[in-house]
Amino acid sequence: MAEKIKNSRVFLNPFSKDNPVIVQVLGICSVLAVTAKLAPAMVMGISVIAVLAFSNVIISLLRNTIPTNIRIIVQLVVVAGLVVMVSQLLAAYAYEVSVQLSVFIGLIITNCILMGRLEAFALGNKPWPSFLDGVGNGIGYAVILVIVAFFRELLGSGTLLGYQVVPDSFYELGYVNNGLMILPPMALIVVACIIWVHRSINKDLQEQ
Write the burial class of residue 73 (CB in 10 Å: 0-12 exposed, 13-18 middle, 19+ buried). Answer: exposed
Sequence-ordered list of residues with C-beta below 8 angstroms from that of 75, at least 6 positions apart, any chain: 55, 59, 115, 118, 119
DSSP H or E segment with residue 85? helix 71-93
Asked if 31 contacts 21 with a C-beta cutoff of 8 angstroms, the reply is yes
By 3-state DSSP, what share of the chain in percent is helix, strand and coil, each rounded to 5?
75, 0, 20
Whether the predicted pLDDT of 173 surpasses 70: yes
CB atoms under 10 Å from CB of 110, counted, come to 14
- If one counts the domains in the chain, the total is 1
pLDDT tier for residue 101 given thresholds of 50, 70 and 90: confident
Distance CA 104, CA 100 (A): 9
Whether 113 maps to a domain, the answer reads yes
Whether 129 maps to a domain, the answer reads yes
Residue-wise pLDDT tens digits, 67-81: 889 999 999 999 999
Whether 7 maps to a domain, the answer reads no
Whether the predicted pLDDT of 186 surpasses 70: yes
Residue-wise pLDDT tens digits, 18-35: 899 998 888 787 777 788
Whether 8 maps to a domain, the answer reads no
Whether 10 maps to a domain, the answer reads no
Whether the predicted pLDDT of 194 surpasses 90: yes
Q: Measure CA 33 to chain center.
A: 12
Region 104-112 average pLDDT: 80
Whether 6 maps to a domain, the answer reads no
DSSP H stretches of helix in 94-126: 95-101, 112-120
Q: In DSSP terms, which residues pair with 164 in a beta bridge? A: 159
CA torsion 104-110-111-114 (nearest 10°) is 130
Whether 96 maps to a domain, the answer reads yes
Whether 11 maps to a domain, the answer reads no
Residue-wise pLDDT tens digits, 114-129: 888 999 899 989 999 9
Q: For a pLDDT cut of 90, what percent of the chain falls above it? A: 53
Parent domain of 67: 17-202
Region 138-155 average pLDDT: 94
pLDDT, position 75 = 92
